[in-house]
Chains A and B, each alone.
Chain A
């Protein structure tokens, strides 16, 4: 998405409320709700003394990247995904905090619950954003989309102490663009009959699927604004962009986006990965990391009542070459030890040596765990029972309450902490 600096002046204001009245939102049944600087806002809520200071949440190690920065920090040029070290240079006065994911998950769950009070058609995109289809709710609640959005914004602020921005449109694409343009703590309605007027002045980078490279290529042939794309005949676009991309972008530029809001899609896989501060070559250390990741993955599976049959590992080497290796088990599992054992085999047998930058564990081919294949020599109480007992202890006493002994030396909150 292009920075708002690229936008023609006045464009956004046209779609904001004027004199307490919102533009006509008939037919605008898609809401895109996006928390403002989510991690940073949650941290500030926990420590109000940080309210007037630049706050940056992210990996604090040598290779950490910024996950979230509040708007004050952003005025210094700090952006998400930027190396933390760079952010420190831009804004040395900022407060740098490591992420506390468990807290964000709790807040996110609460916020998503507010959305689901409005409509069952909630499609979370991540912890801090979701699409809502409110067409049913409009009839039921006898409210307009704009009024629903105002209620959601008020409840999120009142119940969770953070702000969010809402884009309202007739399609997902428009709604998402709109929320991006009214941040922070804003709201934007793009009426159905003004979609083209809204889209066409935007830079091509606003189109979903256009990154820096594509934008450059498009600029070479004179395509700068969305309107340029809409006005270009498809055959010409195809020559520049290839068939698939041309059709996709042409449709978007003309306001067509037939993606519907898909509530909580069934997970296809569950996994966890870790980037190291310093590339690692010692296999023992990598195996230990696999244990840690297997534990997180298995716990996530159990929390969702899922089991998977395929275990895969991902290894990214120092030169960024990345491999994935997988193995399918005869029976689906959610047991830490089984996932770990398989992951170790994949590391030992199918992973070439070399300095490792990132390692990940993933379980695929998921199914619900209603029925359970029994083992012949299963002890009365096995690893699964141990895992469940540990889950309960963690639920009660926090994430660090029970851990494999070989991981005890690690600090649970500092997730990329290693002693070399």
Chain B
């Protein structure tokens, strides 16, 4: 194999594929990146660890076709550090040389024969604009569990119902749900509702890479896999094979109090008062018609409070939240104003985006479980 590629395209492609590689590969080849120059005018760069695969093509001048497997981590570090000049990659026996300007690297290769076959892309299910997909995933994945002792909570549930796509995630402390329209494949309109559970981390990574404005993201599904593609990049992931909680029955059906509030000043105030809240302890919100009082801490660690103007309807209430969860929920709205609604201090609260007229923008909700205060 002997090829020449542009440095920037190569570095981006390698960095993206390397991101999906396992940090501690169970066998060395799974930590490798496959460079495939079998086609005459492109280099295909892939990684696969039996869970997630990533493939991207970059334009290349191929003098000699062929395939080789090298350490993904090392290749990513090297390509990132190369000067902005054409890169020549050449395989010579069991080593591969990378030359760029006056820099020259020689790396050992791993046996291509031992590398697993990448899964084929499953059948096409539908498509949507990149920016819509990117935003929706980021709004929902924030609520997914990071604790893999509860695997069913580490995924984002993706529900396809005709031209409606719903994304949901919950770690039991909060739940985020986004509903929006997309363009299903003709075959999907007859299958009725389809729901799959996609590892949240993989989905978030893919959405970052594919969710570019002006590009289209294609979603494919079948055979226990989800496929996502766009902008010349393709990724597949094994679906989580566990039951997602029955969440719809957990969503509050009523609210007795609601506040409409500007998001940015609220987030700033939460950051300030929670300085005295030791890690993981709560910030208290006292709502009344005269406004919102935030407070945190106590006699021992120091205390803080701050007042904000708020449009509030309902009986006065004091409710407490984990400040990190509250900030993340407000941040996930991607809106300037928010509605906070609740019933009692020990029942779920909802945060929704609000438009300039003070009306709730449908399509997104973020549920937060409060912290029960002593006494």
Residues of chain A having any CB pair with chain B under 8 Å? 309, 327, 329-332, 341-342, 345, 365, 367, 370-378
In contact, A330 and B146 (Cβ under 8 angstroms): yes
- Are B281 and A375 closer than 8 Å at their CB atoms? no
Chain A residues in 8 Å Cβ range of B322: 331, 373
In the assembled complex, the Cα of A345 lies from the Cα of B374 at a distance in Å of: 32
Q: Is the CB of A371 within 8 A of B171?
A: no
A345: B residues at CB distance < 8 A: 148-149
Question: Which of B146, B170, B174, B372 interacts with A371 by CB under 8 Å?
Answer: B372
For the complex, give the distance between the alpha carbons of A276 and B147 in Å: 30
In whole Å, how far is A350's beta carbon from the nearest beta carbon of chain B? 10
Q: What's the nearest-Cβ distance from chain B to residue A325, in Å?
A: 13
Look across to chain B and name the residue whose beta carbon is closest to the beta carbon of A350. Answer: B24
Q: Which residue of A lies closest to B320 (CB)?
A: A371
Contacts of A371 in B (CB 8 A): 281-282, 320, 371-374
A311: nearest residue on chain B (CB-CB)?
B149
What string of 1s and 0s marks CB contacts (under 8 Å) between B240-257 and chain A? 000001010010000000
Interface string of B260-285 (1 = CB under 8 A from A): 00000000000000000011111000
Q: Nearest chain-B residue to A365 (Cβ)?
A: B279
A367-B149 contact given A376-B170, A376-B369, CB 8 Å threshold:
no
**CB nearest neighbor in A for B145:** A330
Instruction: Assess the B280–A377 pair: CB atoms within 8 A.
Output: no
Give 17 new A-B contacts, CB below 8 A, not counting A329-B147, A331-B322, A377-B245: A330-B146, A345-B148, A367-B278, A371-B372, A371-B374, A373-B322, A373-B369, A373-B372, A374-B173, A374-B346, A374-B372, A375-B172, A376-B170, A376-B174, A376-B175, A376-B369, A377-B250
Query: Which of chain A's residues has its CB closest to B369's CB?
Result: A374
Chain B positions within 8 Å of A341 at CB level: 149
Residue-wise, chain B 336-375 has the 8 Å CB interface mask toward A (1 for contact) of 0000000000101000000000000000000101111110
Which of B147, B148, B173, B174 is most buried by chain A, counting CB atoms within 10 A of its CB? B147
CB distance from A204 to the nearest CB of B (A): 43
Contact across chains for A373 and B173 when beta carbons are under 8 A apart: yes
Can you name 29 A-B residue pairings with CB atoms under 8 Å? A309-B279, A309-B280, A327-B147, A330-B145, A330-B146, A330-B147, A330-B171, A331-B280, A331-B322, A345-B148, A370-B374, A371-B281, A371-B282, A371-B373, A372-B371, A373-B322, A373-B369, A374-B346, A374-B370, A374-B371, A374-B372, A376-B172, A376-B175, A376-B247, A376-B250, A376-B367, A377-B172, A377-B250, A378-B172
Mark B residues whose CB is within 8 Å of A: 145-149, 170-175, 245, 247, 250, 278-282, 320, 322, 346, 348, 367, 369-374
CA distance A371 to B346 in the complex (A): 11
- Please provide the 9 A-B residue pairs with the shortest distance between their CB atoms, ordered closest to farther: A370-B374, A374-B369, A372-B372, A375-B172, A376-B172, A341-B149, A371-B371, A345-B149, A373-B371
Nearest Cβ in chain B — how far from A12, in angstroms? 45
- In the assembled complex, which residues on chain B have CB atoms less than 8 Å from the CB atom of A373? 173, 282, 322, 369, 371-372
Bound CA span A332–B149, Å? 15
Inter-chain CA distance A342–B348, complex, in Å, is 26
Q: Which residues of A contact B280 (CB under 8 A)?
A: 309, 331-332, 367
**What chain A residues lie within 8 Å of B369 (beta carbons)?**
373-376
Q: Which residue of B lies closest to A331 (CB)?
A: B173
User: Which A-chain residue is minimally distant from B345 (CB atoms)?
Assistant: A374
Q: Enumerate chain A residues within 8 angstroms of B149, measured Cβ to Cβ.
A: 341-342, 345
Considering residues A331, A341, A365, A374, which has the most beta carbons from chain B within 10 angstroms of its beta carbon?
A: A374
A329–B170 alpha-carbon span in the complex (Å): 15
Q: Which B residues touch A330, using CB under 8 A?
A: 145-147, 171, 173
Shortest Cβ distance from residue B149 to the other chain A in the assembled complex, whole angstroms: 5
Minimum distance in angstroms from A171 CB to a CB of chain B: 30
Q: Bound complex: CA of A372 vs CA of B322, how far in Å?
A: 10
User: Taking the nearest CB of chain A, how far is it from the CB of B273, in angstroms?
Assistant: 15
User: Within the assembled complex, what's the spacing in Å between the Cα atoms of A375 and B369?
Assistant: 6
Residues of A within 8 A of B348 (CB): 376
Please measure, in the bound complex, the distance between the C-alpha atom of A327 and the C-alpha atom of B147, giving whole angstroms: 9
Chain A residues with CB under 8 Å of B371's CB are: 371-374
Docked pose: A309 CA to B280 CA in angstroms: 9
- Complex: A309 Cα to B245 Cα, angstroms: 24
Q: Interface centre among A309, A327, A377, by most B CB within 10 Å?
A: A377
Query: A2 to chain B: closest CB distance in Å?
Result: 43
Given A330-B147, A332-B280, A341-B149: A376 in contact with B173 (beta carbons within 8 A): yes
CA distance A3 to B322 in the complex (A): 55
Q: Which residue of A lies closest to B372 (CB)?
A: A372
Q: Which residues of B contact A367 (CB under 8 A)?
A: 278, 280-281
A370–B320 Cα distance when bound, in Å, is 13
The residues of B that contact A342 with a CB separation of less than 8 Å are 149
Bound complex: CA A374 to CA B175 (Å): 13
Residue of B nearest to A329 (CB): B147
Chain A residues, Cβ within 8 Å of B173 = 330-331, 373-376
Closest CB of chain B to A213's CB: distance in Å? 37
Complex Cα distance, B247 from A332, in Å, reads 24
- Measured in the bound complex, the distance between the Cα atoms of B62 and A102 in whole Å is 77
Determine how close the nearest CB of chain A comes to the CB of B242; give it in whole angstroms.
14
Residues of A within 8 A of B279 (CB): 309, 365
In the complex, A330 Cα to B153 Cα: how many Å? 13
Residues of A within 8 Å of B373, CB to CB, are 370-371
In whole Å, how far is B365's beta carbon from the nearest beta carbon of chain A?
Answer: 13
Which residues in A have their C-beta under 8 angstroms from that of B147?
Answer: 327, 329-330
Q: Which residue on chain B has the smallest CB distance to residue A370?
A: B374
Shortest distance between the CB of B173 and any CB in chain A (Å): 6
Residues of B within 8 A of A365 (CB): 279
**Alpha-carbon distance between A330 and B369 when the two chains are bound, in angstroms:** 13
Q: How far is the CA of A367 from the CA of B374 in the complex (A)?
A: 14
Of the candidates B171, B172, B278, B282, the one having the most CB atoms from chain A within 10 angstroms of its own CB is B172
Residues of B within 8 A of A378 (CB): 172
The distance in angstroms between the C-alpha atoms of A358 and B11, with both chains bound, is 47
| A343 and chain B: residue at smallest CB distance | B149
B336 to chain A, nearest CB (A): 27
In the complex, what's the smallest C-beta–C-beta distance from A384 to chain B, in angstroms? 12
CA distance A341 to B147 in the complex (A): 11
Which chain B residue shows the least CB distance to A374? B369
Contact residues in A for B374 (Cβ distance below 8 Å): 370-371
Chain A residues whose CB sits within 8 angstroms of the CB of B148 once the complex forms: 345
CA distance in complex: A331, B145 (Å): 11
The residue in A331, A332, A365, A378 that gathers the most chain B C-beta atoms within 10 A of its C-beta is: A331
Question: Which partner residue on chain A sits nearest B347 by CB separation?
Answer: A374
Which residues on the B side are within 8 Å of A372 (C-beta)? 371-372
Bound complex: CA A370 to CA B374 (Å): 5
Which residues of the partner chain A approach B320 to less than 8 Å between Cβ atoms? 371
Q: In the complex, A332 Cα to B245 Cα: how many Å?
A: 22
Residues from chain A with Cβ under 8 Å of B247 in the complex: 376
* Complexed CA–CA distance, A373 and B279 (Å): 13
How many Å lie between the Cα of A331 and that of B171 in the bound state? 11
Central interface residue in A327, A345, A365, A373, by most chain B CB within 10 Å: A373
- Contact partners of A375 in chain B: CB under 8 A: 172-173, 369
Cα distance, A365 to B367, chains bound together (Å): 27
